[in-house]
Amino acid sequence: MNTLVKTNFNFPGQKNVYHGKVRDVYNIDDRFLVMIATDRISAFDVVLPKGIPSKGQVLNQMASEFLDTTVDLVPNWKLATPDPMVTIGKYCKPFPVEMIIRGYLTGSSWRSYKAGAREICGVPIPDGMKEHQRFENPIITPTTKAEEGHDEDITREEIIKQGLVSAEDYKMLEDYTRVLFKRGTEIAAKKGLILVDTKYEFGKVDDKIYLIDEIHTPDSSRYFYAETYEENFKKGLPQKQLSKEFVREWLMENGFQGKEGQKIPEMTDEIVESISKRYIELYEKIIGKPFIYDESEDIVTRMENNILSFLNHQK
């Protein structure tokens, strides 16, 4: 199957392009952002050497759906999804932080806790908790937004003190984060899933805050299956989950955590196909309808034509 791992377009009015770990983002005249969800996959802040078939389409279509189902809570940047792998939206100046919210002690927070940490981003964590245990109330653990390399944990106080976000705006970011997580939790529950943790990014246009980027996708979120959660938790068993964590686990099992000197294990066709299937499984589970494969032979031409069609209609 075809994969798209890089784009290099030159659209009318294009001012610059940012190639992120997974997305290519084109700035059109400081008016629009064209965000392309490629089939690249990253883990431990490293882009892996092979693309994952259908991954970009899954991420883009899930994010588009969730942006539509939360716009009554928080204004967002989306204007259109002219292509299966593309969202076009308002050009926003992003805040240099990511708002991470956690409902359960799992993943990196559990790894820190197991190593002795009893505070994450200034939020105290009680003694005696177990892996995958639910917090009494969801906690917000922000990180800096790194252009390159690792995002760093940071406290609310440090964010405000360093002038990264004003106190007034940060209060709004926290409020938006909590209501979005509540809505995401409710949507997941209806599908037999638990939204475990996720991240949100925000930006500003003319002093108005908008939700930007993706939302509630397997790249930005972690889901558990609700029906097996309690039994697995009581027995201390791993949770059945739909997220990118299984990619991280596969890498760790093969001696890779993104540290210097470590080598990325071989991505066999079987591994690539299994990752693709997991992304599609999550899409179908949480969106509640079959995934429609796009079978275009020339993804780049299709995408360019769809984006140009949108931009030409905005003149």
Rounded Cα distance between 119 and 99, Å, is 17
pLDDT of residue 1: 65
Angle at 138 between CA 157 and CA 243, to 5 degrees: 110
pLDDT of residue 150: 65
How far is it between the farthest Cα atoms of the chain? 60
Residue 233 lies in a domain: yes
Residue 190 lies in a domain: yes
Please answer whether residues 296 and 53 qualify as being in contact, where contact means their C-beta atoms are separated by less than 8 angstroms: no
pLDDT of residue 147: 63
Q: Which residues are CB-neighbours of 261 under 8 A, at least 6 positions away?
A: none
Residue 77 lies in a domain: no
Question: What domain count does the chain have?
Answer: 1
Residue carrying the six token digits 């944990």: 153
Question: What DSSP designation does 289 have?
Answer: S
Q: Which residues of the chain have pLDDT under 70?
A: 1, 146-150
Residue 88 lies in a domain: no
| C-alpha distance across the termini of the chain, in Å | 36
pLDDT of residue 219: 83
Residue 185 lies in a domain: yes
**Helix (H) or strand (E) segment spanning residue 305:** helix 299-313
The CATH number assigned to the domain holding 122 equals 3.30.470.20
pLDDT of residue 315: 72
Residue 44 lies in a domain: no
* DSSP character string of 153-201: B--HHHHHHTTSS-HHHHHHHHHHHHHHHHHHHHHHHHTTEEEEEEEEE
Q: Give the residue numbers spanning the domain of 133.
A: 94-243
pLDDT of residue 77: 97
Residue 208 lies in a domain: yes
Residue environment code for 48-69, b if the CB has 16+ CB neighbours within 10 A, otherwise e: bebbbbbbbbbbbbbbbbbbee
pLDDT of residue 245: 78
Rounded Cα distance between 90 and 95, Å, is 15
Cα torsion 80, 23, 183, 198 to 10°: value is -170
Rounded Cα distance between 267 and 48, Å, is 9
pLDDT of residue 68: 97
Rounded Cα distance between 297 and 33, Å, is 26
Residue 197 lies in a domain: yes
Rounded Cα distance between 241 and 136, Å, is 21
